[in-house]
Structure 1
Amino acid sequence: MSLHRKGKALLVVALVAVVGMAFRVSWNALRDVAKAIGADGTAALLYPFVVDGLMALALVATLVLTDRDDKRFALRVLAAYTLASLVLNYVHGLVPALHAAPSGRVRLAQWDAAHWLLVLLASSLPVGSIYFGSDLVAKVLHHRPPVREAYEPEHPEPAQVPHAPAHPADAPADEAKAPKPVAAPEPAPVLVATRTEPVRPPAPHTPPAARTVPSPDARSVEFEAAELERMRQDARRAYAESALAERPLSARALGEAFGMSESWGRKQILAARDLEAVAA
């Protein structure tokens, strides 16, 4: 076992020991408070597990849940029951009659409103444990990590911009199809470094060939083809990264991640494996 793992193990053992000792200290106070509000011997013995046990459950749920709202809910439950346990322990220290473990009821405060408020707090904690505990367990059981975290790289590469056509796409179709006006031919300069023969100007009676302009439909087809090819490359790269992480994506998961079918995802997986075999 490495030194880092040993440190983690010792930290967990120390945390469990501290939590166990703190529960034992709080157990005595909560048991006496439960007897003071009319609980019998068995109920008073189990009462500390209801309060402090839900605190431990909320702490575990906070560590497991990744959704922001669910984690916030677990933290609120943990804070509320921690505050309630603190109040009951404080009352146990202020009322000496609770220390004698009486068999009957004991007033928790001299002021009537404070006494009934403390009784309401101590009585409502078991009911709240049932409600909040079941909700936290349901959130943990139904928790699922995001799908894209399995194959999304830590440093995503910028998306490749497809090659744009030379002419803007918003040009009207009539103007694109209209022939360009033919200008008067000018004598071309003689480039000694690139051409050895003299440049012959075109004959006056021979008009220059008109330049072919691609139609908007052709440009749209080229753009869609480039986008599909980029999507295929991204899918193959995603599968290769998931395979390196020893969590290869299935054909269905890969297709759904890119909004395509399962057969499309299977084709990309086969292509990625062929590329890996060629590279090997």
Structure 2
Amino acid sequence: MNRKAASGLVLALVVVVGMAFRVSWNALRDVARAIGADEQASLLYPFVVDGLMALALIATLVLTGRDKTVALWILGGYTVASLLLNYVHGLVPALHAPEVGTLVRLADWDPAHYALVLIATSLPVGAIFFGSDLVAKVLHHRPAPVSEPAYERRADSSAHLPHTPVPAAHVGAVGSPSGTELPAVPTVSALVGEGADGVGGEDPHGPHTLRTPEPGAQEEDTRQAQFEEAELERTRQDARRTYAESAQAGRPLSARALGEAYGMSESWARKQILAVRDTSDSDSHHPHLVAVGGES
């Protein structure tokens, strides 16, 4: 609906509500006079009843949850009370413009008369209580934030890419004195992929060869830890072999270059280099490193 049509609809609603209030105002004024209200009080009485109805209606449009339910109950209660008093005004001719200060019975049956007088006199007091409560609820109301759907969050942002280790060929080609290059060092992700295929396939010694119909959560965690430890150990062995080959070629890799080649830290690579050197020093069968392709 366009703005002009919406404005016309709201204006028409205001006109209808104003005319309905004028009709109801006449009956409520006469009832107020009949229960002992003075001239000024009887003129203000309809604004108390129908005015609280308008306030409760606005509150139902703003509030949510339990507060909205309370506002609806107040709106319904005052609507029924106003309808009842208008109905009584139509049944009792003596209520039509009675003199100020003249008490008129609202019903011939005493219990009905007392009940109607109680309703008519309690509406102003209720308007003070319920009106204050509704205003406090509206002023302290905080609308709930609208959460974005998960698929719309950061739709334009690129996904985070995992770290891919740099092959040794990009760190620096390690070759023999004759110019031949060593084979490229396999990446850690490739090693993990190979290990996963081997474990799930033909390797009878893999950590996942023993399968149970429904393994528990603890078994799965243990197997996962064993698999990760096996892959880490395989990575350490490959890193040590790579460093040993580069040392044999006369161009040993630095700890930083070795760590970057396997996607690890420099301190991790330094430990692998120290392990290779300790093994070389303690190995009596290989007292010195031999260059690849050279003569011993």
Structures share fold, TM-score greater than 0.5: yes
Shift of the 24–211 alpha-carbon distance from structure 1 to 2, 3 Å rule, reads same
Give the structure 2 partner of residue 132 of structure 1. 130
In 1, Cα distance between equivalents of 2:223 and 2:88: 83
Show the counterpart of 2:78: 81
Number of the residue aligned with 2:113: 115
* Residue 156 of structure 1, CA deviation: 3.1
Distance 1:40 1:178, change over 3 A: closer
Match in the other structure for 2:16: 18
Asked whether 1:171 is paired with 2:169, we answer: no
Query: Partner of 2:150: helix, strand, or coil?
Result: coil
What residue number does 2:150 align with? 156
One-letter code of the match for 1:21? M
Instruction: Give the distance between the partners of 1:5 and 1:174, measured in 2 at CA.
Output: 65
Aligned residues: 176
Runs of 5+ in structure 1 lacking a partner?
181-209, 214-280
- In structure 2, the residue matched to 1:71 is 68
The structure-2 alpha-carbon separation of the partners of 1:119 and 1:158, relative to structure 1 and needing over 3 Å to count, comes to same
Match of 2:179 in 1: none
Determine which of 9, 14, 18 is the counterpart of 2:7: 9
1:34 to 32, 35, 56: 32
Q: Percent identity?
A: 63
Q: CA deviation at 1:173?
A: 8.2
Q: Any idea what the Cα deviations from partners look like across 1:116-151, whole Å, max 9, x if unmatched?
A: 00000000000000000001100111111223x2xx
CA shift for structure 1 position 70? 1.3
TM-score for both structures, normalised by structure 1: 0.56
Instruction: For 1:82, give the aligned amino acid.
Output: T
Query: Structure 1 100/169 Cα, relative in aligned 2: closer, same or farther at 3 Å?
Result: same
Shift of 1:211: 3.9
d(CA) in 2 for partners of 1:78, 1:175: 68
TM-score by length of 2: 0.53
Matches within 5 A, 1:230-241: none
Q: Which runs of 5 or more residues in structure 2 are unaligned?
A: 154-158, 163-191, 197-207, 209-218, 237-296
Q: Aligned pair in 2 of structure 1 residues 116, 174: CA closer, same or farther (>3 Å)?
A: closer
Q: Counterparts of 1:46 and 1:212 in 2: how far apart (Å)? A: 89
Q: Compute the displacement of 1:62 (Å).
A: 1.1
